[in-house]
Protein backbone atom coordinates (compact mmCIF):
# COMPACT_ATOMS: atom_id res chain seq x y z
CA UNK A 1 0.00 0.00 0.00
CA UNK A 2 1.25 3.45 -0.89
CA UNK A 3 1.83 6.03 1.83
CA UNK A 4 -0.35 9.05 1.01
CA UNK A 5 -0.40 12.39 2.81
CA UNK A 6 -2.19 15.62 1.95
CA UNK A 7 -1.39 19.08 3.26
CA UNK A 8 -4.60 21.12 3.41
CA UNK A 9 -6.45 24.12 4.75
CA UNK A 10 -10.11 24.05 5.80
CA UNK A 11 -11.31 26.34 2.98
CA UNK A 12 -9.38 24.73 0.10
CA UNK A 13 -11.78 23.51 -2.61
CA UNK A 14 -9.06 21.52 -4.40
CA UNK A 15 -8.10 19.82 -1.15
CA UNK A 16 -11.71 18.69 -0.79
CA UNK A 17 -11.69 17.38 -4.37
CA UNK A 18 -8.52 15.38 -3.72
CA UNK A 19 -9.95 13.90 -0.52
CA UNK A 20 -13.15 12.97 -2.37
CA UNK A 21 -11.08 11.21 -5.05
CA UNK A 22 -9.25 9.26 -2.35
CA UNK A 23 -12.54 8.35 -0.68
CA UNK A 24 -14.12 7.15 -3.93
CA UNK A 25 -11.25 4.71 -4.41
CA UNK A 26 -10.69 3.65 -0.80
CA UNK A 27 -7.29 5.35 -0.61
CA UNK A 28 -6.12 5.77 2.97
CA UNK A 29 -4.29 9.01 3.66
CA UNK A 30 -2.99 11.24 6.40
CA UNK A 31 -4.20 14.83 6.40
CA UNK A 32 -2.19 17.74 7.75
CA UNK A 33 -4.05 21.02 8.28
CA UNK A 34 -1.31 23.57 7.71
CA UNK A 35 -3.58 26.41 8.84
CA UNK A 36 -3.38 25.01 12.38
CA UNK A 37 -0.17 22.92 12.40
CA UNK A 38 2.84 25.26 12.17
CA UNK A 39 5.31 22.36 12.25
CA UNK A 40 3.70 20.69 9.22
CA UNK A 41 3.40 24.07 7.46
CA UNK A 42 7.14 24.63 7.88
CA UNK A 43 7.83 21.06 6.75
CA UNK A 44 5.74 21.67 3.63
CA UNK A 45 7.58 24.90 2.77
CA UNK A 46 11.01 23.34 3.37
CA UNK A 47 10.23 20.25 1.29
CA UNK A 48 8.50 21.91 -1.66
CA UNK A 49 9.06 25.66 -1.49
CA UNK A 50 5.26 25.96 -1.73
CA UNK A 51 2.89 27.83 0.51
CA UNK A 52 -0.24 26.85 -1.44
CA UNK A 53 -2.32 23.73 -0.94
CA UNK A 54 -3.04 21.00 -1.64
CA UNK A 55 0.34 19.37 -1.69
CA UNK A 56 0.04 15.60 -1.85
CA UNK A 57 2.80 13.10 -1.22
CA UNK A 58 2.55 9.54 -2.49
CA UNK A 59 5.51 7.56 -1.21
CA UNK A 60 8.40 9.78 -2.37
CA UNK A 61 6.49 11.60 -5.14
CA UNK A 62 5.17 15.13 -4.57
CA UNK A 63 2.09 16.44 -6.38
CA UNK A 64 1.51 20.17 -6.11
CA UNK A 65 -2.12 21.16 -6.55
CA UNK A 66 -4.99 18.90 -7.55
CA UNK A 67 -3.53 17.18 -10.62
CA UNK A 68 -6.14 14.44 -10.96
CA UNK A 69 -4.44 12.71 -13.89
CA UNK A 70 -1.09 12.50 -12.11
CA UNK A 71 -2.76 11.34 -8.90
CA UNK A 72 -4.60 8.57 -10.74
CA UNK A 73 -1.36 7.38 -12.36
CA UNK A 74 0.62 7.42 -9.12
CA UNK A 75 -2.18 5.66 -7.22
CA UNK A 76 -2.97 3.18 -9.98
CA UNK A 77 -6.67 4.13 -10.16
pLDDT band at 50 (very low <50, low <70, confident <90, very high): confident
CATH number of 4-75: 3.40.30.10
Using an 8 Å Cβ cutoff, are 65 and 14 in contact?
yes
Kindly report the pTM of this predicted structure: 0.93
Mean pLDDT for all residues in the chain: 95
Q: How far is CA 60 from CA 27, 57, 74, in A?
A: 16, 7, 11
Mean pLDDT along residues 33-52: 93
pLDDT number for residue 1 = 83
pLDDT number for residue 51 = 86
Note the pLDDT tens digit of each residue in 8-36.
Answer: 999 999 999 999 999 999 999 999 999 99
Residue extents of the structural domains in the chain = 4-75
Amino acid sequence: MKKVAIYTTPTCVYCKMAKELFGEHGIEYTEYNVAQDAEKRNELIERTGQMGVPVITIDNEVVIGFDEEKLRVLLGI
